[in-house]
Amino acid sequence: MIDIIKKQYQLTAKDADELKEVSDALFISKDKLTFNYENPLGSGVCSTVYRGFLSGPSPLINLTGLIETHDFQDCDVAVKVALHFGDDEVDQLFREIEAMKVLQYNRNVISMLGWRMLNGKPALIFELAEQDLLRYAKMLMSIDTKEIEFKTIISILWQIAKGMEFIASKNIVHRDLAARNILLTNDLQAKISDFGLAVINDSGIKESSVPKKLPVRWLSIEAIVEKLFSEKSDVWAFGVLMYEVFIMGQDPYAGIPTEMILRFLQSGERMSRPRLATNEIYELMCRCWEGNMETRPKFEELVLILHNLLEDEAGCSRYYNELEFLSENEERRVPLNDNNSIALEILDDDIL
């Protein structure tokens, strides 16, 4: 496999050795993996995903040495099998392994546990999640609006923003951030997946070799026009992802032909506020869709904004307001005696 990738990408000897080292470290032997071809979990243009079982520890445990990865042994897994092994599959495999080499582990990024060849085609093994965010958003259409838990939606968006903050900190641009590529566990932990279009952005933001097919409806203006990809183009896509959730899984720019989207955006138009979104949420979407990439927020700022919204939705912020009110007013009327003061100091020491 490495020889094919080396030829495809004309890698230097050093790059090929590094890729081989990581690939070998993530290799899973045949006797450690079982799965059923008859019941696929899902299928795409380039691959099909099956449920499988991994015996023993996954290679990721040894690669990272993190306690958080110790659950990835003797566990159910998702097995992503390429339909072919042509240029597109080589490209996706190369990008996924490269991203894995850099990211290794984050709780809001799907973990690649290893890989192997199956019937002459590459198969990537990931931790198992139960559904994707797009399916979850479409499910909201069957629920009465009054019964939708908005704090759960905001929690999912906050987790995605945290995962993307981590990805951006590693100089990786995802380029395919969308509801369909966010996986959810049973307890609604969000995990960013599908790094087949990702690029490691070490020196600049202009991609010299752009894939043939890109998700135009999730792309920023500069990505469409100038082929510029950065954290800020991923932020734009995050705004579209937010729109997908609050429009309950409907397509973005519904009714607008793909070839007309750029003209629509360059004229200053943006998608209108979804019925489920508050004005505050819609304003956040529009900030992600600023034409000038420099004025868009970074994921670090989005994490903070969504965390504050999550606290407000959970009713936590009012407790802080009440405490502040007490500290300003009640303290003057009910002074602490000496014994209380000593007890508080001791408690503070214990906490520290």
Catalytic residues: 176
What's the CA gap between 79 and 39, in Å, rounded?
A: 12
The residue to which tokens 């950065």 are assigned: 230
What's the CA gap between 88 and 46, in Å, rounded?
A: 8
The count of other CB atoms within 10 Å of the CB of residue 352 is 5
What's the CA gap between 23 and 1, in Å, rounded?
A: 10
Gyration radius (Cα) of the chain, Å: 23
Question: If you count them, how many residues does the chain have?
Answer: 352
Is the CB of residue 281 less than 8 Å from the CB of residue 246? Answer: yes
What's the token pair of residue 122? 């590459």
Nearest to 36 by CA among 87, 98, 78: 78
The residue to which tokens 């670090």 are assigned: 300
Nearest to 136 by CA among 78, 70, 202, 181: 181
DSSP state for residue 178 in the 8-state scheme: S
